[in-house]
Amino acid sequence: MKTKILLKEAEMPTHWYNVVADMPNPPTPPLGPDGQPVGPDALAAIFPNAIIEQEMSAERWIPIPEEVREALRLWRPSPLYRANRLEQALGTPAKIYFKNEAVSPAGSHKPNTAVAQAYYNKMEGIKRLTTETGAGQWGCSLALAGQLFDLEVEVYMVKVSYGQKPYRRSMMQTWGAKVFASPTDRTNAGRQILTAHPDSDGSLGIAISEAVELAAGRDDTNYALGSVLNHVLLHQTIIGEEAKKQLELVGDYPDMIFAPCGGGSNFGGIAFPFFADKAAGKAVQLVAVEPTSCPTLTKGVYAYDFGDAIGLTPLLKMYTLGHDFMPPGIHAGGLRYHGDSALVSQLHNEGLVDAWAVPQLETFEAGVLFAKTQGIVPAPESCHAIAAVIREAKRCTESGETKTLLFNLSGHGHFDMSSYDRYFAGELEDFDYPEAAIKESLAHLPKVG
């Protein structure tokens, strides 16, 4: 039986798919502090024009520049797998496919957008990109992309992670990036924090502030973001486009598509190209999978809120748990986000995208079964999609349905083995639904209009 479905390099998509073109309603605009829609000018201090155009675009197909395709060919097209052995272990009549995005040099889907962002910045004469990173997945991806397009990359890495996750830091340095433990004394934001809290462990919110401040203050420097925004999701649609072609090669089409959902680029990347068919009437269920401890889509409110933790960004209309909600310390760091992509949120609000929440222990149990059957050790984020697929496959076993299930294996777990260690040692827990904390943070939602 066929295990992998491959595309030739010549079959790699030539355009990204923009879901905005097929949404039943126009996307909600980001708002400035004055409650008015943010125009392109406000973004020009930190983003190149090409990216700003993509952020605002309603064109269905946006061409992928040949230089970006050339860089993506270092690992793309990525293989689509039929998970034969997982199916057998589950005894399910369902067919399970997964797209393997772990094959990128950085080990996740994130370089798909990092490469595109680096290219557009290079084309507009930018010399340097700044960004923030927590555990380091995004920082690695931008370091790689900067190296490929000869841009300097400065990564502001949350200080506690800088100490605890040294190997992703080494990887960024191998690709030539400068990595700073944030808060630093290089920015006003960092210095303010250090004055008040000399021993600060840092946070993603502080690191964003530092990266944005430096990009805004230097003409030759821009900022790059790894999820949430429309252009990031756009660049990730190459995943779903490839998957669709690969399924066509074996005469199949998914009944349900699953992906982990933190900021939304993982989910949007695989699901949006199938949304085009759904909008045209085809039956396909799109399931965003999130942690029960950070249940943005399943328990949040649909409202305007800040994208960052401390209120520096424009306001986005999205499902949110409140921008100052601090999620419990689950090991899927990429899913510990209070908000979500505005596009994913809007489609969920309109009933076109489903959301499931799974608890931490179930995700690791699923990840271990996946590793034992399919070999690949998945990232904790990816384990969320696997857990959801296993739930559905078991349901099919009971009902006898022969559904076709597709999920995005967004990354490998090579830098997350300490989480597996803790799982095996029985040290991981399922956090209670943080109802009180969410209620508290939702009380701080900004007032709009």
Place of tokens 């559905």: 392
Question: Which amino acid makes up residue 37?
Answer: P
User: Site for a second copy (CB under 8 A): which residue of 148, 193, 297, 335?
Assistant: 148
With CA atoms as reference, report the closest residue to 140 among 101, 118, 160, 114. 114
321 contacts a second copy (rule: CB under 8 A):
no
- Residue 266 and residue 286 in contact, taking contact as beta carbons nearer than 8 Å: no
CA distances from 168 to 49, 116, 138, 180, 226 (A): 31, 21, 10, 13, 16
Place of tokens 């479905």: 5
Stretch that binds a second copy, among 30-38, 119-127, 173-181, 213-221 (CB under 8 A): 173-181
Looking at residues 372 to 401 of the shown chain, list those that interact with a second copy (rule: CB under 8 A). 372, 374-377
Nearer Cβ to a second copy (216/417): 417
Q: Which DSSP string do the residues of 274-312 spell out, in sequence order?
A: HHHHHHTT---EEEEEEETTS-HHHHSEEEEEESSSSS-
- Residue 152 and residue 127 in contact, taking contact as beta carbons nearer than 8 Å: yes
Nearer Cβ to a second copy (6/448): 6
166 contacts a second copy (rule: CB under 8 A):
yes
H/E stretch holding 411 reads none
- Exposed/middle/buried for 251, CB within 10 Å: 0-12, 13-18, 19+? exposed
User: Site for a second copy (CB under 8 A): which residue of 2, 395, 439, 444?
Assistant: 2
Site string for a second copy, 280-299 (x = CB under 8 A): --------------------
Question: 409: which strand partners?
Answer: 100
65 contacts a second copy (rule: CB under 8 A):
no
366 contacts a second copy (rule: CB under 8 A):
no
- Residue 289 and residue 315 in contact, taking contact as beta carbons nearer than 8 Å: no
User: Site for a second copy (CB under 8 A): which residue of 262, 388, 415, 428?
Assistant: 415
Nearer Cβ to a second copy (29/176): 176
167 contacts a second copy (rule: CB under 8 A):
yes
User: Site for a second copy (CB under 8 A): which residue of 90, 94, 171, 330?
Assistant: 171
6 contacts a second copy (rule: CB under 8 A):
yes
H helices within 12-148, ranges in order?
40-43, 49-56, 66-72, 84-90, 111-123, 137-148
Nearer Cβ to a second copy (2/282): 2
- Alpha-carbon gap, residue 316 to 229, rounded angstroms: 9
Q: In the bound complex, what is the minimum distance in angstroms from residue 103's beta carbon to a second copy?
A: 7
350 contacts a second copy (rule: CB under 8 A):
no
Binding site for a second copy (CB under 8 A): 1-4, 6, 8-9, 70, 73-75, 85, 103-107, 144, 147-148, 166-168, 170-171, 173-176, 368, 371-372, 374-377, 414-415, 417-418, 420-421, 424
